Structure 1
């Protein structure tokens, strides 16, 4: 008789290094940034071998579970635990640079303008 191991999705995402910390993985699941087979996952939902997991962090990561991990392991072992099907980013030349323009002489930017500028700078990195 083999023992069946249930691994929580937040623990698995942390163990395979999709999130830097377990609390971030739990918060991501609560916020709806983790989907298992297209369905929004709660932090304690068990994951099985063969499940497709979509994680929205800085971009969308699409992985298929090959191995269940309950503890964080080294990067080579973590990468062997899933099959990465994340679509490649387009080359930097093809990505459109965000544009923000202000009329000359419009004065200091407002708080809202400042936040928009900061968001655009983050996207351009």
Structure 2
């Protein structure tokens, strides 16, 4: 099997760059039509990617826009993977989500152990 120098499968590149945990997950995203290569929808995981290509895909709840800088030869450590791409839209710093306190027993929610003891003490 001969490989074109300067090209790699898009699913393999996404896996090398550590955007997906497994290559099959990357292939599933591509074949599901959730990836754009230079603005064009890609449906085949074997679509070749070269340097300076722009990939757009959803990762979690974020839309990632990535420019391919290098192809990579292996799935190495994260520092090596980050050298393969440039993030064109860096993830925005999200304000820390404020989690409301658990509902107390004043008619809503389940009573805590302490609330139950108070209820038991107040019973006739």
Q: TM-score range by the shorter chain?
A: 0.5 to 0.7
Q: Which residue is equivalent to 1:7? A: 8
Residues 50, 60 of structure 1: CA spacing in aligned structure 2 closer, same or farther, 3 A cutoff?
same
Q: Which residue is equivalent to 1:118? A: none
Residues 45, 19 of structure 1: CA spacing in aligned structure 2 closer, same or farther, 3 A cutoff?
same
- Structure 2 gap segments, 5+ residues each: 98-124
Q: Which residue is equivalent to 2:79? A: 76
CA contact (8 A) 2:8 2:48 kept: yes
Instruction: Tell me the matched-pair count.
Output: 93
- TM-score, normalised to structure 1, is 0.66
Q: 1:9-28 to 2 correspondence within 5 Å?
A: 9-28=10-29
CA contact (8 A) 2:6 2:50 kept: no
SS of 2:36's equivalent in the other structure is strand
SS of 1:35's equivalent in the other structure is strand
* Alpha-carbon distance in 1 for matches of 2:41, 2:58: 12
Tell me the alpha carbon deviations over residues 9-45 of structure 1, each in whole angstroms, 9 at most, x when there is no partner: 0000000001111000000001112111011122100
- For the aligned residue pairs, the C-alpha RMSD in angstroms reads 2.0
Q: 1:85-96 to 2 correspondence within 5 Å?
A: 85-89=88-92, 91-92=94-95
Q: Which residue is equivalent to 2:52? A: 50
Q: Does residue 1:65 correspond to 2:45, yes or no?
A: no
Select the structure of larger CA radius of gyration.
2
CA contact (8 A) 2:6 2:51 kept: no
- Structure 1 gap segments, 5+ residues each: 96-125
The runs of at least 4 consecutive aligned structure 1 residues that moved more than 6 Å come to none
- TM-score, normalised to structure 2, is 0.67
